[in-house]
C-alpha cells in the first residue's frame, strides 16, 4: 500500500513539474511576443553562474571537512614517498581546478547574450595555444620524473637482509608463510594442494622444514620486509592501505613487494587515540561473492617483540607433517608423483587454521 | 514516435521523389519506414530510443545496489517482492550485488555510451553535416543497429538466468570469469555476456566502417576536411579508434570462450579451486588484461570523443563565436586518438606485469593530459567575450566542461603509477571515471539531444524542464561522485558489498547514505528529461528551419524526415562552419557554410 502511495506521489510530482514548466514557457512566449528574450538569458546566466560557484565552493570546502577522516600518516617508508608525490599533485591540480572552474562559471555570466552587442571574432591565437601546451607539458614532466623515480625505487630489488614472507590469496582468505630461521621459503606447487597441505608446500625441499604458517602477519618495525605474493584460485589483490601498498595476487604468476614499516601498531594507536586500531590487509580485486570481507590482521612490533614472537612459532613440518609421516598417515608427494597418487587425509587436516574455514 | 511531423514529410517526400523522378522508393509501410528503415535519420533515432531504454535499465540497477550500500543493515520487502530472485530476507544477495555492478558497468559503457552516443549522433549528423544524401552503405548502417538489438536481447535476457547474470565486473578478469566454480555468475551468465559482446562488436564495426567511409568519400562539393564541423571530426576519430580496438576485444573474448569450453589454457594456469587442482597449465591471466585493456582504454575515448565534438560545436553556436583554435582542436583529437593506443597498461600497474612497463605507461598516460588541457582551455576561451545564449544545450555543455575538468585532473593522480599504488581500484577510481567519462559523456549526449532535437522532430524541447533536469543532474553528479574521492583516499576498495566488515571503512556510513539518496534523486530526475522528450515530439513548440541560427549544413536541409536530405541539388560549401559574429557591421551574427566568400574574405589568408 505504502508503495502504491509513494508511486502515486511521484507521478503527481512529475505532473506538477511538467505543468509548471509548460506554464512558464507560455508566459515567456507571451512576454516576449515570440521574439528572443534577452532578459531571460541574463537571469539564466546568473542562475548557472551561482549554481556553478556554489557547487565548486562546497566541493572544495568538503575536502577540508573530510580531510581528518582520510588515512593517517603512512606507516612505511614507501608510503611516505607516495604520500609526498600525492601532495605535490594535489597542490598542482587544485590550482588548475580553481582557475579553470572559476573562469568557466564567471565567463558564462560575464558574456551572456545581450541584443546590442556581438561576440568577438577570435578564431585562434598561436601564442596562447603554444603557452597552454608548454605549461602543462612542463608541469607534467615534473610529475612524470618524480613519479617514475619513486616507482623504480619502490620496485627495486629487496635488500638481502629482508625478512621473507609469502602471502597466498584464496577465496576468501589470506594465508601467510614465514621462511623460518633460514630465511628461505621452501618450494611449493599447486598440484600438491590438499586439505592437509593447503599451500601445496613440497616437504621434499628441506628449506620448507622450518617454514611456519601463523594466523596473523607480524612485522618488525624499521626492517625491510619482502613479500612474495600468489593466489590459488582467482586474482586477488594484497592491499595494505595504511602502508600505501598494493600488489595483485595472480594464480600462476608470482608477484613481489618489499617495504619498510616505520610505525608500530602501538605507536599508531596512540597517534590516533584509538586503542582498538589495527593494521589490516584487504582484498582489492573482485574475487567472488565474499570479496568484501577478505581480511587479515597485520601487527607491527618492536624488534624485541618480533624476536620473541618468532621464537614461539612452531615449524609446520616438525609439528604436524613429520609425526604424520612417521606414523604412516602422511605420504610425501612430489608434483610429479601427484599425478598418480592420491593422498590419505587425516591427522594433519586437524591443523588447518580455523579462519580459513570461514 | 514522430507521427505528426513525419506525416507532413511523408507527403513531401513523395512529392520529392516524383520531382526528381526517383523511382527507387516504393510504397512505404510503417514497418519499412520506422522499423527496418535504411534512412540514417531514422536509424539515429532508433539508436537513441534503444539507448534510452538501456540507460533506464543501467541506471535502475545502480539504484538497487546503491540502496544496499546506503542502508546495508535494513531490509526492503518491497524490493524483494519485485526482484524476488535477487533478494533474500529483504536484503540484496552478494551474488546479485556483483551481477548488478557488472551489468551496470557493461550496459552503461557499451550499450549506452558507445552504441547509443556514437550511433545516434554519427547517424544523425554525419550525412547532414557533410552534405550527403545518406551513409555510404545504408544497409550496413541498418545492420549495425540490428546487431545492436541482437546483442541487447542476449545481454538483457541474461538478467533473468537462474544462476544470475555475469558477476566478474565489467572487465571480466579470468580466472574468476572463466570458472563457474569460482562464482555462480561465471556460468551461463558469462556465456551470455560473451556472446552479447561479440554481437555488439559486429554492430560497432559495421557502424564505424560506414562512418569513416562516408566522411572520407561523400563530402559535398567544397567540403574539404578542414571545413568539417568538429562533431564530424570527433566521430571520424571515434570510429577509427573503434575499428582498431574492438577486434582485439573479440580475440580476447574468443580465447576466453575457448578456455571456458574447450579446455585450452590461454589465461589459466596453476589453479586450485574447491580443494582440487585444475589441469590448466601455461596460461597467464595477465595476457587477458593486456588484450582487454587494449580495447578497454581506447573505449573510454570512444565514449568521450563524440561528447567532446558535440560540446565544441554546440558551444560555438550558442556563444555566437567561432570555436577557439579549430585546428588545435582537431590535432588534440588526433593526439588523444594516437595516445589512446599507448596507455592501456595504466590499468595494470599493479597487475603483476613487469614494473619497468609501468614507467613507460606513466609517461604516455600523463602525456594525454596535454591535448585534454588544450581542449579545456580552448572551450573556456570560446566563451570569453562571446555572446552566450544560456539555454539547455549550453547548460549541459558548461556542465560537461566543469565535469571534464574535475574528472580529468584526478586522471593525473591515477595515471602516475606511484600514486596508483595507493589509489588503484579504490573509490577514488570510481569517482574519477564516473565523472570524466560517465557523467561528462552523458552531459555531452544531453547537450546534443537538446540541441538537435528540432532537427530530429521539427519541434523544440521545453526549456524550463531542461533547466530542472540540468540542475538536479549537475548538483547530483557532484554530490554522488565528489565524496567518493574521500572514500578512495581513506582506502575504501571498490566493489564491496558492504563496508561494515572493516571498522576503518564503516566510518562513512552517513556519507554513503547521502550518495545513495542523491543517486536515487538523479535517477528519478532523468524521467523529467524523458517526459520532456516524448511530450515535445508531439506537443513541443514548432521549430523554425534554423532555430539556433547555426552555420552547419544540417540546418540547411529542409526539416522533416525527407529521404535523401536535400530535395534538389546538394548544397555547395564555401566556408568553414564557425563564421559567427565575423563582421561587426552585418545584421546577422552568423554566415552559413553555403554562403560564398566575399571578395575581401577571398584575399585574406584563412
User: What pLDDT, in 10s, does the model give residues B542-567?
Assistant: 999 999 999 999 999 998 888 889 99
State yes or no: pLDDT of B224 exceeds 50: yes
The 10s digit of each residue's pLDDT in B67-77 is 999 999 999 99
State yes or no: pLDDT of A316 exceeds 90: no
Contact (CB, 8 A) for B303 and B117: yes
Residue A328's CB is within 10 A of a number of other CB atoms, namely 8
The 10s digit of each residue's pLDDT in A326-358 is 887 777 777 666 554 433 333 333 334 333 443
Query: Domains plus CATH for chain B?
Result: 34-603 (1.20.210.10)
Mean pLDDT of B94-100: 95
- Computed over every residue of chain A, the mean pLDDT equals 88
Could you give the 3-state DSSP secondary structure of residue A301?
strand
Mean pLDDT of B349-363: 93
Cβ pair A100:B322 closer than 8 A: no
Contact (CB, 8 A) for B143 and B119: no
Spatial separation of the C-alpha atoms in residues B276 and B184, rounded to whole Å: 18
> ∠ CA B170-B173-B178 to the nearest 5 degrees?
110
What is residue B27's predicted lDDT score, i.e. its pLDDT? Answer: 65
What is residue A35's predicted lDDT score, i.e. its pLDDT? Answer: 61
Is the previous residue joined to B175 through a cis bond, with omega within 30 degrees of 0?
Answer: yes
The answer to whether residue A86 neighbours chain B at the CB level (below 8 Å) is yes
- Grid coordinates representing B68? 544496499
Question: Which of A37, A85, A115, A119 is the mutation pick for testing B, counting most B CBs within 10 A?
Answer: A119
Taking contacts as CB-CB distances below 8 angstroms, the residues of chain B near A143 are 366, 412, 416
Contact (CB, 8 A) for B450 and B125: no
The 10s digit of each residue's pLDDT in B503-546 is 889 999 999 999 999 999 999 999 999 999 999 999 999 999 99
Least confident of A41-50, A190-199, B162-171, B441-450: A190-199
Could you give the 3-state DSSP secondary structure of residue A214?
coil
Instruction: Say if pTM beats, i.e. exceeds, 0.90.
Output: yes
> ∠ CA A257-A259-A264 to the nearest 5 degrees?
135
Report the percentage of chain B scoring pLDDT > 70: 95
Using CB atoms, which residue from A69, A120, A234 is nearest to B490?
A: A69
- Grid coordinates representing B213? 567511409
What is residue A345's predicted lDDT score, i.e. its pLDDT? Answer: 36
Q: Quote the radius of gyration of chain A (alpha carbons, Å).
A: 31
Taking contacts as CB-CB distances below 8 angstroms, the residues of chain A near B465 are 17-18, 21
Cβ pair A253:B463 closer than 8 A: no
**B94 to chain A, minimum CA–CA distance in Å?**
5
The answer to whether residue A334 neighbours chain B at the CB level (below 8 Å) is no
Cβ pair B179:A233 closer than 8 A: yes
Q: Which H/E stretch holds residue A47?
A: helix A38-66
A108: phi then psi, degrees, rounded to nearest 5: -65, -30
Taking contacts as CB-CB distances below 8 angstroms, the residues of chain A near B474 are 51, 55
Task: Answer positive or negative: Cα dihedral of B262, B267, B269, B274.
Answer: negative
Helices and strands, number each (H, E), in chain A: 9, 9
Taking contacts as CB-CB distances below 8 angstroms, the residues of chain B near A233 are 175, 179, 182, 271-273
Spatial separation of the C-alpha atoms in residues A357 and A334, rounded to whole Å: 26
What is residue B13's predicted lDDT score, i.e. its pLDDT? Answer: 45
Query: Which residues pair with residue A299 across a beta bridge?
Result: A218
Nearest to B139 by CA among B61, B37, B234: B37
What is residue B351's predicted lDDT score, i.e. its pLDDT? Answer: 93
Cβ pair B352:A194 closer than 8 A: no
Strands B272-273 and B276-277, sheet pairing: antiparallel
- Grid coordinates representing B506? 564503516
The answer to whether residue B82 neighbours chain A at the CB level (below 8 Å) is no
Taking contacts as CB-CB distances below 8 angstroms, the residues of chain B near A7 are none
Could you give the 3-state DSSP secondary structure of residue B507?
coil
Could you give the 3-state DSSP secondary structure of residue A150?
helix
Using CB atoms, which residue from A58, A289, A292 is nearest to B501?
A: A292
Taking contacts as CB-CB distances below 8 angstroms, the residues of chain A near B173 are 234-235, 285-286
What is residue A38's predicted lDDT score, i.e. its pLDDT? Answer: 61
Strands A163-170 and A173-178, sheet pairing: antiparallel
Taking contacts as CB-CB distances below 8 angstroms, the residues of chain B near A292 are 94, 495-499, 501
Within B32-164, strands assigned E span 87-88, 91-92
Taking contacts as CB-CB distances below 8 angstroms, the residues of chain A near B490 are 69-71, 241
**Half-sphere exposure (CA, 13 Å, Cβ side) for B602?**
6
Contact (CB, 8 A) for A68 and B486: no
Spatial separation of the C-alpha atoms in residues B109 and B115, rounded to whole Å: 9
Helices and strands, number each (H, E), in chain B: 21, 4
Using CB atoms, which residue from B167, B416, B424 is nearest to A85?
A: B416
What is residue B304's predicted lDDT score, i.e. its pLDDT? Answer: 96
The 10s digit of each residue's pLDDT in A235-255 is 999 999 999 999 999 999 999
Cell 561576440, residue?
A119
Task: Answer positive or negative: Cα dihedral of B460, B464, B469, B474.
Answer: positive
Spatial separation of the C-alpha atoms in residues B425 and B58, rounded to whole Å: 21
Spatial separation of the C-alpha atoms in residues B567 and A131, rounded to whole Å: 47
What is residue B585's predicted lDDT score, i.e. its pLDDT? Answer: 84
Cβ pair B168:A18 closer than 8 A: no
C-alpha to C-alpha distances, A256 to A297, B406, B424, B559, nearest whole angstrom? 20, 34, 17, 64
Residue B287's closest chain A neighbor by CA?
A: A253
What is residue B584's predicted lDDT score, i.e. its pLDDT? Answer: 83
Question: Which of A2, A6, A102, A292 is the mutation pick for testing B, counting most B CBs within 10 A?
Answer: A292
Least confident of A21-35, A188-202, B122-136, B325-339: A21-35
Spatial separation of the C-alpha atoms in residues B496 and B476, rounded to whole Å: 22
The answer to whether residue A59 neighbours chain B at the CB level (below 8 Å) is yes
DSSP assignment letter at B131: T
The answer to whether residue A35 neighbours chain B at the CB level (below 8 Å) is no
Q: Which H/E stretch holds residue B422?
A: helix B417-423
Is the previous residue joined to B339 through a cis bond, with omega within 30 degrees of 0?
Answer: no
Name the maximum alpha-carbon separation found in chain A. 102
Q: Residues, chain A, total? A: 358
Residue A112's closest chain B neighbor by CA?
A: B388
Taking contacts as CB-CB distances below 8 angstroms, the residues of chain A near B270 are 190, 251-252
Spatial separation of the C-alpha atoms in residues A216 and B69, rounded to whole Å: 29
Please state the separation of Cα A226 from the chain's center in Å.
Answer: 19
Using CB atoms, which residue from A29, A82, A118 is nearest to B421?
A: A82
Contact (CB, 8 A) for B390 and A123: no
Using CB atoms, which residue from B370, B405, B497 is nearest to A97?
A: B405
Taking contacts as CB-CB distances below 8 angstroms, the residues of chain A near B489 are 70-71
- Grid coordinates representing A152? 623504480
- Grid coordinates representing A271? 597517534
The answer to whether residue B103 neighbours chain A at the CB level (below 8 Å) is no
- Computed over every residue of chain B, the mean pLDDT equals 92
State yes or no: pLDDT of B31 exceeds 80: no
Nearest to B235 by CA among B307, B300, B159, B139: B307
Residue A256's closest chain B neighbor by CA?
A: B352
The 10s digit of each residue's pLDDT in A168-191 is 999 999 999 999 889 999 999 888
What is residue B349's predicted lDDT score, i.e. its pLDDT? Answer: 95
Spatial separation of the C-alpha atoms in residues A178 and A166, rounded to whole Å: 6
Spatial separation of the C-alpha atoms in residues B285 and B265, rounded to whole Å: 10
C-alpha to C-alpha distances, A287 to A80, B96, B261, nearest whole angstrom? 29, 14, 21
- Grid coordinates representing B463? 526549456
Taking contacts as CB-CB distances below 8 angstroms, the residues of chain A near B472 are none
**B144 to chain A, minimum CA–CA distance in Å?**
33
Question: Which of A285, A338, A349 is the mutation pick for testing B, counting most B CBs within 10 A?
Answer: A285
In chain A, which among 175-234 make CB contacts under 8 A with chain B?
190-191, 193-195, 200, 232-234
Using CB atoms, which residue from A70, A128, A250 is nearest to B285?
A: A250
Using CB atoms, which residue from A83, A146, A235 is nearest to B175?
A: A235
C-alpha to C-alpha distances, B439 to B23, B168, B304, nearest whole angstrom? 46, 23, 10
What is residue A37's predicted lDDT score, i.e. its pLDDT? Answer: 60
Contact (CB, 8 A) for B79 and B87: yes
Could you give the 3-state DSSP secondary structure of residue B349?
coil
Query: Domains plus CATH for chain A?
Result: 23-113+123-154 (no CATH), 163-357 (2.60.40.420)
Taking contacts as CB-CB distances below 8 angstroms, the residues of chain A near B266 are none
The 10s digit of each residue's pLDDT in B335-351 is 999 999 999 999 999 99
B257 falls in which pLDDT band (50, 70, 90)? very high
C-alpha to C-alpha distances, B215 to B220, B226, B339, B452, nearest whole angstrom? 10, 12, 22, 20
What is residue B605's predicted lDDT score, i.e. its pLDDT? Answer: 58
DSSP assignment letter at B28: P
Spatial separation of the C-alpha atoms in residues B460 and B79, rounded to whole Å: 38
Report the percentage of chain B scoring pLDDT > 90: 85
Using CB atoms, which residue from B173, B184, B402 is nearest to A101?
A: B402
Cell 566454480, residue?
B181
The answer to whether residue B411 neighbours chain A at the CB level (below 8 Å) is no
DSSP assignment letter at A291: G
Least confident of A234-248, B79-93, B220-234, B476-490: B79-93
Mean pLDDT of B293-308: 95
Spatial separation of the C-alpha atoms in residues B204 and A356, rounded to whole Å: 46
CB environment B386-402: b (16+ within 10 A), e (fewer): bbbbbbbbbbbbbbbbb
Spatial separation of the C-alpha atoms in residues A78 and B90, rounded to whole Å: 45
What is residue A173's predicted lDDT score, i.e. its pLDDT? Answer: 94
DSSP assignment letter at B495: S
Amino acid at each position: 500500500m505504502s508503495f502504491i502511495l509513494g508511486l502515486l506521489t511521484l507521478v503527481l510530482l512529475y505532473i506538477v513539474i511538467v505543468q509548471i514548466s509548460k506554464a512558464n514557457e507560455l508566459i515567456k512566449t507571451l512576454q516576449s511576443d515570440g521574439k528572443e528574450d534577452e532578459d531571460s538569458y541574463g537571469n539564466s546566466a546568473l542562475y548557472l553562474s551561482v549554481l556553478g560557484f556554489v557547487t565548486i565552493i562546497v566541493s572544495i570546502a568538503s575536502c577540508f571537512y573530510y580531510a581528518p577522516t582520510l588515512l593517517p600518516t603512512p606507516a612505511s617508508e614507501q608510503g611516505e614517498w607516495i604520500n609526498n608525490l600525492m601532495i605535490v599533485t594535489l597542490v598542482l591540480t587544485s590550482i588548475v581546478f580553481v582557475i579553470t572552474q572559476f573562469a568557466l562559471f564567471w565567463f558564462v555570466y560575464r558574456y551572456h547574450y545581450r541584443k546590442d552587442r556581438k561576440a568577438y571574432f577570435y578564431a585562434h591565437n598561436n601564442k596562447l595555444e603554444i603557452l597552454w601546451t608548454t605549461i602543462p607539458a612542463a608541469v607534467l614532466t615534473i610529475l612524470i620524473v618524480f613519479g617514475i623515480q619513486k616507482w623504480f625505487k619502490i620496485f627495486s630489488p629487496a635488500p638481502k637482509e629482508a625478512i621473507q614472507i609469502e602471502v597466498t590469496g584464496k577465496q576468501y582468505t589470506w594465508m601467510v608463510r614465514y621462511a623460518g630461521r633460514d630465511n628461505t621459503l621452501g618450494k611449493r606447487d599447486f598440484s600438491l594442494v590438499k586439505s592437509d597441505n593447503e599451500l601445496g608446500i613440497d616437504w621434499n625441499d628441506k628449506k620448507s622444514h622450518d617454514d611456519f604458517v601463523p594466523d596473523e602477519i607480524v612485522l618488525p618495525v624499521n626492517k625491510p620486509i619482502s613479500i612474495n605474493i600468489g593466489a590459488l584460485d582467482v586474482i586477488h589483490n594484497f592491499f595494505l592501505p595504511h602502508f600505501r601498498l598494493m600488489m595483485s595476487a595472480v594464480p600462476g604468476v608470482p608477484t613481489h613487494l618489499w617495504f619498510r614499516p616505520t610505525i608500530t601498531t602501538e605507536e599508531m594507536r596512540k597517534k590516533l587515540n584509538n586503542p582498538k586500531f589495527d593494521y589490516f590487509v584487504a582484498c582489492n580485486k573482485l574475487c567472488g561473492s565474499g570479496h568484501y570481507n577478505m581480511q587479515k590482521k597485520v601487527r607491527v612490533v618492536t624488534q624485541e617483540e618480533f624476536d620473541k614472537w618468532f621464537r614461539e612459532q612452531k615449524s609446520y613440518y616438525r609439528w604436524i607433517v613429520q609425526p604424520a609421516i612417521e606414523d604412516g598417515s602422511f605420504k610425501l608427494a612430489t608434483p610429479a608423483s601427484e599425478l598418480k597418487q592420491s593422498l590419505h587425509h587425516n591427522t594433519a587436516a586437524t591443523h588447518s587454521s580455523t579462519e580459513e574455514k570461514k | 514516435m514522430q507521427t505528426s511531423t513525419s506525416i507532413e514529410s511523408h507527403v513531401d517526400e513523395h512529392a520529392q521523389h516524383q520531382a526528381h523522378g526517383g523511382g527507387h522508393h516504393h510504397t512505404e509501410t510503417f514497418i519499412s519506414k520506422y522499423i527496418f528503415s535504411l534512412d540514417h535519420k531514422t536509424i539515429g533515432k532508433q539508436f537513441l530510443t534503444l539507448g534510452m531504454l538501456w540507460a533506464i535499465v543501467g541506471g535502475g540497477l545502480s539504484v538497487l545496489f546503491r540502496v544496499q550500500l546506503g542502508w546495508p543493515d535494513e531490509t526492503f520487502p518491497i524490493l524483494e517482492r519485485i526482484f524476488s530472485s535477487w533478494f533474500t530476507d529483504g536484503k540484496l544477495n552478494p551474488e546479485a550485488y556483483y551481477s548488478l555492478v557488472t551489468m551496470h558497468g557493461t550496459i552503461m559503457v557499451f550499450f549506452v555510451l558507445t552504441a547509443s552516443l556514437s550511433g545516434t549522433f554519427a547517424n544523425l549528423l554525419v550525412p547532414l553535416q557533410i552534405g550527403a544524401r545518406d551513409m555510404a552503405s545504408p544497409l550496413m548502417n541498418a545492420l549495425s543497429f540490428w546487431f545492436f538489438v541482437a546483442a541487447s536481447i542476449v545481454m538483457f535476457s541474461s538478467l533473468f538466468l537462474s544462476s544470475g547474470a555475469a558477476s566478474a565486473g565489467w572487465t571480466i578478469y579470468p580466472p574468476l570469469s572463466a570458472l563457474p566454480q569460482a562464482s555462480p555468475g561465471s556460468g551461463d551468465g558469462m556465456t551470455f555476456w560473451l556472446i552479447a559482446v561479440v554481437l555488439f562488436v559486429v554492430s560497432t564495426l559495421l557502424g564505424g566502417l560506414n562512418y569513416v567511409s562516408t566522411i572520407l568519400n561523400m563530402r559535398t562539393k567544397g567540403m574539404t576536411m578542414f571545413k568539417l564541423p568538429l562533431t564530424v571530426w570527433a566521430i571520424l576519430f571515434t570510429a577509427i579508434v573503434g575499428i582498431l580496438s574492438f577486434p582485439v576485444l573479440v580475440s580476447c573474448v574468443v580465447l576466453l570462450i575457448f578456455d571456458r569450453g574447450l579446455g585450452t589454457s590461454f589465461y589459466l594456469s596453476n589453479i586450485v579451486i574447491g580443494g582440487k587442482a585444475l589441469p590448466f597449465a601455461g596460461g597467464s591471466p595477465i595476457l587477458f588484461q593486456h588484450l582487454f585493456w587494449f580495447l578497454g582504454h581506447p573505449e573510454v575515448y570512444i565514449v568521450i570523443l563524440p561528447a567532446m565534438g558535440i560540446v565544441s560545436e554546440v558551444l560555438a553556436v550558442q556563444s555566437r563565436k567561432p570555436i577557439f583554435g579549430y585546428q588545435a582542436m582537431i590535432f588534440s583529437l588526433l593526439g588523444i586518438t594516437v595516445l589512446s593506443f599507448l596507455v592501456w597498461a595504466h590499468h595494470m600497474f599493479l597487475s603483476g606485469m613487469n614494473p619497468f612497463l609501468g614507467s613507460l605507461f606513466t609517461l604516455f598516460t600523463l602525456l594525454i593530459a596535454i591535448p585534454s588541457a588544450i581542449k579545456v582551455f580552448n572551450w573556456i576561451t570560446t566563451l570569453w567575450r562571446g555572446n552566450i545564449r544560456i539555454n539547455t544545450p549550453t547548460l549541459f555543455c558548461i556542465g560537461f566542461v566543469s565535469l571534464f575538468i574535475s574528472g580529468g585532473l584526478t586522471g593525473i593522480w591515477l595515471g602516475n603509477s606511484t600514486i596508483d599504488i595507493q589509489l588503484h581500484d579504490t573509490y577514488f577510481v570510481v569517482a574519477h571515471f564516473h565523472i570524466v567519462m560517465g557523467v561528462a559523456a552523458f552531459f555531452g549526449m544531453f547537450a546534443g539531444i537538446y540541441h538537435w532535437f528540432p532537427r530530429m522532430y521539427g519541434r523544440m524541447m521545453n526549456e524550463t524542464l531542461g533547466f530542472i533536469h540540468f540542475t538536479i543532474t549537475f548538483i547530483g553528479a557532484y554530490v554522488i561522485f565528489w565524496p567518493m574521492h574521500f572514500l578512495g583516499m581513506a582506502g575504501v576498495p571498490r566493489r564491496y558489498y558492504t563496508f561494515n566488515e572493516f571498522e576503518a571503512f564503516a566510518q562513512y556510513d552517513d556519507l554513503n547514505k547521502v550518495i545513495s539518496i542523491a543517486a536515487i534523486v538523479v535517477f528519478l530526475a532523468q524521467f523529467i528529461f524523458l517526459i520532456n522528450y516524448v511530450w515535445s515530439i508531439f506537443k513541443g513548440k514548432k521549430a523554425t528551419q534554423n532555430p539556433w541560427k547555426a552555420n552547419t549544413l544540417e540546418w540547411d536541409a529542409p526539416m522533416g524526415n525527407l529521404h535523401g536530405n536535400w530535395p534538389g541539388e546538394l548544397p555547395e560549401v564555401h566556408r568553414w562552419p564557425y563564421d559567427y559574429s565575423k563582421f561587426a557591421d552585418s545584421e546577422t551574427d552568423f554566415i552559413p557554410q553555403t554562403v560564398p566568400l566575399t571578395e575581401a574574405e577571398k584575399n585574406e589568408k584563412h
